[in-house]
Structure formats: structure tokens, C-alpha cells
Amino acid sequence: MKKIIYTILTLMSLASLCGITSCSKDGYSEMSPSTGTGGSLARFTIAGNYLYAVDQNALKTYRMNTDGSLNHVSTVVLGADIETIYPYKDKLFIGSREAMYIYKLNNPELPEFEQMASHVRACDPVVAKDNYAYVTVRSGNTCGGTVNALYIYQVDNLNYPQLLNTYSLHGPYGLGIKDNTLYVCDGAGGLRIFDVSNPSGATLTGTRAGYTFYDCIPYDYDNVLICMVDGGMVIYDISNPQDPVFQSQTF
């Protein structure tokens, strides 16, 4: 059942590409869905046996039943301008135009607020791995803001998220992570590849150009990176995560 749901969400993610459904002039509409496997511009995702969805100001939790149906079990008010949601272990990382919120899933039917990290006002996708969270901020969009950058937070102490580093970028959108490799979709600046084996000293190791990149989803079981680009999709082989190899494109 979960495999079927993941497939549906993936297809919906691909269908939300610019030019296929409603997209803003920034590249993505504010309601573009993705999957819990790694797309950072997601409006809903799966963790365990629950589907979590965010709208502009609330987090809604649905129980997934074995017959494929969903039961709404709770709604948590988050605040204004909520944009993205990303699951990692027993946490939900929720990006807004003003902050990154962390919710714990001790009770998966009622996510509980853990902490907030405020930063420059911008559209802010989030991904997480181990004790670190990665956030992009972008200027020149409907969210306001004047900074284009990657922020890296240490979140092992959720009461005091610590900003470790900031990397200036061209105009970043979504991002994804596989092992110790972080992929940042830097719009017309290309797909940026970071080595985050040492997150506090993360290094840019490469760039893939030729497209305007909006979001990416690493799939471990196929060793592929699916990238949402302007007008379509590009797939890279990431058997070597630091060296994505072009496989195919669909427009």
C-alpha cells in the first residue's frame, strides 16, 4: 500500500512542474506537491503510517488505512506563510517564509512543536540528515527577502538550533540529500553539489549546468536523482553521489 501511495505522490510531484500546472513567475506555485522521499518543495509527505499536509497556516495529519483510505485525525495551527514540509526520523521540519519549525512525532497523530529557527525572510525549503538541517533562502520572489543562500543548522539540541554556516548562491529553490552529498537546485545557476561529510565545513564540489533547476528527489534504491527543471525533468545516475551522470530528460 505504501508503495502505491509513494508512486501516486511522485507522479503528482512530476505533474506539478512549471508549464504543466499552475506555476508562479518564481518557478513554482505555492501548492506544488512532492513526496516524503526527498523533495524539499513538498506540501505533504508520509512518515510511518501517516500522511502530513500543510496549508498556509496549519499542519493536518491523516492516518493511512490498509484499504487505502485516509482518516483525518488532527489539525495543528502553525502560523502564517507555511510553505514546505520534510520528514526525518521522528521529526517534521517545516519551512515558512520567516522560519524553520521543528515538530516531534512522539505521538504521530498529534505532532508537537519542538523548536523554531528564525532567519532572513524568504521562501525556505528544508531537508535534514542526522543532526543537521539544510535550508535555502531566495530573493526576488513573492516571499520578499534579499538573500540567496544555503544555511546549515546543527539541530542535535532542538532547544537551541545553531546556524553553522552560510553559502552564497545564485537563486536557490529545492534541495535533496543522499548519504554525505547535498544537492541544491540553484535555479539558472545549475545543480550545486556539496560534500557535507563535515557539515560545518561543507564544500562545493561541482555543478551541473544546462537547465534551470527547481527541485530534486534522490532515490536510493535506484541510485537516481530526479530533478525538476524548467519545462520538464532530468534524471542523473548517482551511483557515485558526488558525480551525477546524466541519464535522460523529459520535456
Strands 213-219 vs 203-208: parallel, antiparallel or unpaired: unpaired
End-to-end CA distance of the chain: give it in Å, rounded: 30
Look up the pTM and report it. 0.73
pLDDT at 7: 44
Q: Which residue segments constitute the domains of the chain, with CATH numbers given? A: 2-250 (2.130.10.10)
pLDDT at 249: 92
Averaged pLDDT, groups of 10, the chain, 251 residues long: 46 39 32 42 78 89 85 92 81 81 93 78 72 86 78 81 92 91 96 96 96 88 86 93 94 83
Question: Which residue, among 139, 101, 103, has the nearest Cα to 121 in the 3D structure?
Answer: 139
pLDDT at 79: 82
